[in-house]
Structure 1
Amino acid sequence: MSLAIVHSRGLDGLSAPEVAVEVHLAGGLPSVTLVGLPDTEVKEARDRVRAALQNSGFSFPSKRITVNLAPADLPKESGRFDLPIALGILAATGQIPASALADHEFAGELSLSGELRPIRGALAMVLAAGSRGRSFVLPASSAREAALARQVRVLAANTLLEVCGHLTGQGALAECLRADDSREDDSGDDYPDLADVRGQAQAKRALEIAAAGGHSILLAGPPGTGKSMLASRLPGLLPPMTLSAALESAAVLSLAGQFRPEFFRRHPYRAPHHTASSAALVGGGSVPRPGEISLAHQGVLFLDEIPEFDRRVLEALREPLDSGRIHISRAARQAEFPAQFQLVAAMNPCPCGYHGDPAGRCRCTPEQVRRYRSRLSGPLLDRIDLQIEVPALPAEALQQPADGEASAVVRSRVVLARGTQIRRQGKANARLETREIDHWCAPEAAAAALLKHAISRFDLSARAYHRLLKVARSIADLSGSSTVAAQHVAEAVQYRRITRD
């Protein structure tokens, strides 16, 4: 047989469209031609496949070989097509039965010795293959993460010889099952404990509200007051992820080659340096890749020293903060990635960090302070729900033992509040649209009067007004109240003080 077809998958953003690897042998001078928009990594497969076949004891045909990666208009990248190309050549030359290929899909990079190396995006590929009813053959190191997709039979292989032995009936590949560490729930025990943070009662309360409603938060204060410690405790306060949310988060991390199965269902915590580019933060590249906001999907994105980030980079956060998704468009490729992250930002009150210090350590001029704070635009600040100060602690507070609540205690309240939101409206309060806010966050008469006064007193925008209402709704949920009362609105107003300074 001079023609063989092997099923595989490409990657287009988070989707994984099916790719048919068609191998045809013809007379003529020996050559290998790859068509179907392959990039450089895919074109180099001809040399890897040749060496892998010969070192595995197979013969490489001295014929004109044409490999077509269909559909032709889908760009193909990475070494994931090495294994299907090698199997296609073996089937076309009759060294393995072509009929055995129909019930499987294959992906894997080959070493020159015939060993299989891990690939990016294995979980996304297997999730997309669920409706086809085929088994998916993957390198053993990639099969473990792919096995998290329960609806697909995942077979793990270490070498090309093992795959061929399975197809010829001389052996059987082991099915990779969900490991015990891919747990059904996230207990929260693996995260840093909130009890380690001394003092800062108001900041801890703000973190609890942020976790309950899925809100973003800005922490402002002098150096060494615990802003970074507080931010790292937020993932441990978040409710456990649902299975679908955990799979989506894991699939995004898999695209970047950063997923570890033992961390399945753990909320991601990303903390990029302030020198990060726009492409690093929101995603990009000639072949669009997920950025930090997508890698933080279903988790926390911490931007320390946020005024030090390039302003254009920060402005790119505005759309995903509202929509929970990021659209990346390039001349030849477009991609969409999920980005439902909770933003935690930290900043100093001035360039030196000691503005308002009683000891008079600040030497910044009013103009320097104004320029520093103006690096955060009004539209971006409008999208940050909770904005609080984290003051310096007195020496006696630092010397006392930590006496705050543990993360587990706070998390139990957060879980109850988030459960109330899911039963009531099917989503966290921070994700409510305008019409839903009017329906689910309607304040009582006294609360409405207080809101009216706050709008005129602090000159709140329509967006800030709606976000204030959502925060008040989260405070009400934490207190077990079915309505938004005046005390809930009053507390919510207190969490926008940075904007008013």
Structure 2
Amino acid sequence: MFNRVLSAAIVGIDVIPVQVEVDVSDGLPQFTMVGSLTGQVREAEDRVRTSLRNIGFALPPKKITVNLAPADVLKNGSGFDLPIALGILAGEQKIPADSLNSLMAIGELSLNGDINPVSGVLPSALQARKLGIHTMLVPAGNESEARVVTDLDIIGFRCINEVLEFLRHGTLPKTEEVKSESPELNRYNLDFSDIRGQENVKRAATVAAAGFHNLLMIGPPGAGKTMIARRIPTIMPPLTQDESLEISQIYSVAGLLNPEQPFLGTRPFRSPHHTMTAQALAGGGRIPRPGELTLAHRGILFLDEMPEFKKGSLEILRQPLEDREIVIARAAGTFKFPAAFLLLAAMNPCPCGHFPDMNRCTCKPNEIAAYIHRISRPLLDRIDLCVECPAVTYEELTGRHEKGRTSAEIREEVCAAHLRQKNRFEGQAVHFNSEIPADKLETYCPMDSEASRLMRQAFEQMHLSARGYHRIIRVARTIADLAGEDIIRTPHVSEAICYRTIDRKYWRV
């Protein structure tokens, strides 16, 4: 007897509908699975067989054929266990065959009949709604995640016996209340007012947060670079509903969603260690999964001690910094992952950290040059803001100066600038000034004559690349937005140019 159950396969971060076709017929007893499957999917035979036996149903001595269509898509994961089991039970008339119509099922079976959580349930639920499916059967551990999707009946089950009761008699298991992440301003319990001095760096951080511009901080150890980086999330503009859903889908595929808070309401902050491999940063595997670059999507990627990262890992950043996505080629196909992140980086100016203070620096000139040039010029050209973070003075450290602005005050200014951008780019596939296409700069970044003259002078004297020239204009646009100006003026351009001059001090060593 033939039955079909709808399920889903995760390919990259995309969802492909999968028809789990099960045929139970007379013949030599055997269990055959086809449809371009990985070893993890083929293991479903043993899990399903043992799970059903332990709930009192032994597989019949018949020929069982399972096909996962479409056959040209490589399937991975353990989420097909439940639909395979349901197809077999329907074939043996243990459940009504028509009860499987207009539903999607996903879940892993344990050997005692329990249903274990799987990754990728949230994007699968979105795909089910898109297909017009009315009901989705999921593991209880994924129920809160799936209930983020509206207009879809989500039913979570702890064991397969609960599924059978539902399909036979319509008995619903106990459901859990869905919680959403609190949109509090400062979940990190950090504040910019904690930082003494470093007003120029705080200003650069404000510009970076307002326009989603990449920022590199250079300075000696203990100057406050990491402190500032970890406080930038507290001044970022809030996520939109679509951005939250997009990030939540990524974390669902990666298996990183908290069941207690399945809907992410704050921007990600990822801080990988410098020993992390290039594959872990970009994402990888036979069927690639999201790496750190994708997990930082719509949020912040912080690289502390940037020159300590392997050169191959750093060069991977070049494509996503330009295209806001990363492409991974495998034998199974080409996978695209979103990677629109704000790059924050911190580094010492030399191995000992004290250059250009020659009274304290113990490094040789060739050591300084080798250390600095671990950051290549093409990568540096993609960083909008470079700023020095000098050592804190005694007066600043002991609090004899007034306390700086709080995160709430800075965030209010950032949100006002972001609102101007939101109105400017309404209906466009642009979220921040840093994403303005080069062919739209004249439209969105009008300058007065003095500002245009200064930009030309900077282009000729600084020997800017086209990319560097465009990035200065985008930064100037953000500075003008922070000032509440529609037209980019000379002070805005002047400040933007200053953020491109610090690198020349160090990369000429």
The answer to whether the superposition gives a TM-score over 0.5 is yes
Partners of 1:151 and 1:408 in 2: how far apart? Answer: 36
Any conservation in 1 of the 2:298–2:341 contact (CA below 8 Å)?
yes
Any conservation in 2 of the 1:300–1:344 contact (CA below 8 Å)?
yes
Partners of 2:475 and 2:242 in 1: how far apart? Answer: 26
TM-aligned CA deviation for residue 178 of structure 1: 4.2
Match of 1:299 in 2: 299
Match of 2:493 in 1: 489
TM-aligned CA deviation for residue 334 of structure 1: 1.8
1:187 is aligned to 2:184 = yes
DSSP 3-state at the match of 1:411: helix
TM-aligned CA deviation for residue 177 of structure 1: 6.0
Match of 1:259 in 2: 257
TM-aligned CA deviation for residue 58 of structure 1: 2.4
Q: How large is the Cα RMSD of the aligned pairs? A: 1.6
Any conservation in 2 of the 1:288–1:333 contact (CA below 8 Å)?
no
Letter in 1 for 2:276: A
Partners of 2:279 and 2:502 in 1: how far apart? Answer: 28
DSSP 3-state at the match of 2:86: helix
DSSP 3-state at the match of 1:474: helix
TM-aligned CA deviation for residue 222 of structure 1: 0.7
TM-aligned CA deviation for residue 36 of structure 1: 0.5
Letter in 2 for 1:392: A
Any conservation in 2 of the 1:4–1:98 contact (CA below 8 Å)?
yes
Any conservation in 1 of the 2:49–2:58 contact (CA below 8 Å)?
no
Correspondences of 1:271-310 after superposition (within 5 Å): 271-310=271-310
Correspondences of 1:11-410 after superposition (within 5 Å): 11-131=10-130, 132-169=132-169, 171-173=171-173, 178-179=178-179, 181-182=180-181, 186-191=183-188, 192-260=190-258, 262=261, 264-357=264-357, 360-400=359-399, 403-410=403-410
Letter in 2 for 1:370: A
Any conservation in 2 of the 1:282–1:293 contact (CA below 8 Å)?
yes
Any conservation in 1 of the 2:320–2:326 contact (CA below 8 Å)?
yes
DSSP 3-state at the match of 2:185: coil
1:436 is aligned to 2:440 = yes
Any conservation in 2 of the 1:288–1:334 contact (CA below 8 Å)?
no
TM-aligned CA deviation for residue 316 of structure 1: 1.4
Partners of 1:219 and 1:142 in 2: how far apart? Answer: 41
- 1:210-239 C-alpha deviation (Å, 9 max, x unpaired): 111111100111111111111111122111
Partners of 2:371 and 2:338 in 1: how far apart? Answer: 32
Letter in 2 for 1:216: N
- 1:435-483 C-alpha deviation (Å, 9 max, x unpaired): 1112111221111111122222222111111100110110000010111
Letter in 1 for 2:7: S
Q: Which moved more, 1:441-450 or 1:479-488?
A: 441-450
DSSP 3-state at the match of 2:80: helix
- 1:410-451 C-alpha deviation (Å, 9 max, x unpaired): 111111101101111233100000111121112211111111
Letter in 2 for 1:479: A
The unaligned stretches of length 5 or more in structure 1 are: none
Any conservation in 2 of the 1:153–1:175 contact (CA below 8 Å)?
no
> How many pairs are equivalent?
496
Q: Which moved more, 1:65-74 or 1:150-159?
A: 150-159
DSSP 3-state at the match of 2:415: helix
DSSP 3-state at the match of 1:343: strand
- 1:316-374 C-alpha deviation (Å, 9 max, x unpaired): 1111111111111112222111111000011100011111236x221111111111111
Partners of 2:151 and 2:451 in 1: how far apart? Answer: 49
Relative to structure 1, is the Cα distance of residues 9 and 101 closer, same or farther in structure 2, using a 3 angstrom cutoff? same
Partners of 2:488 and 2:24 in 1: how far apart? Answer: 72
Partners of 1:444 and 1:13 in 2: how far apart? Answer: 46
Partners of 2:487 and 2:461 in 1: how far apart? Answer: 24
Partners of 1:112 and 1:282 in 2: how far apart? Answer: 35
Match of 2:458 in 1: 454
Partners of 2:369 and 2:226 in 1: how far apart? Answer: 24
Any conservation in 2 of the 1:15–1:128 contact (CA below 8 Å)?
no
Partners of 2:174 and 2:437 in 1: how far apart? Answer: 48
DSSP 3-state at the match of 2:451: helix
TM-aligned CA deviation for residue 176 of structure 1: 6.0
Partners of 1:412 and 1:476 in 2: how far apart? Answer: 16
TM-score with structure 2 setting the length: 0.94
TM-aligned CA deviation for residue 170 of structure 1: 5.2
Partners of 2:207 and 2:380 in 1: how far apart? Answer: 18
Partners of 1:151 and 1:463 in 2: how far apart? Answer: 45
The unaligned stretches of length 5 or more in structure 2 are: none
TM-aligned CA deviation for residue 395 of structure 1: 2.5
Letter in 2 for 1:488: H
Partners of 2:19 and 2:331 in 1: how far apart? Answer: 25
Any conservation in 2 of the 1:218–1:386 contact (CA below 8 Å)?
yes
Letter in 1 for 2:271: A
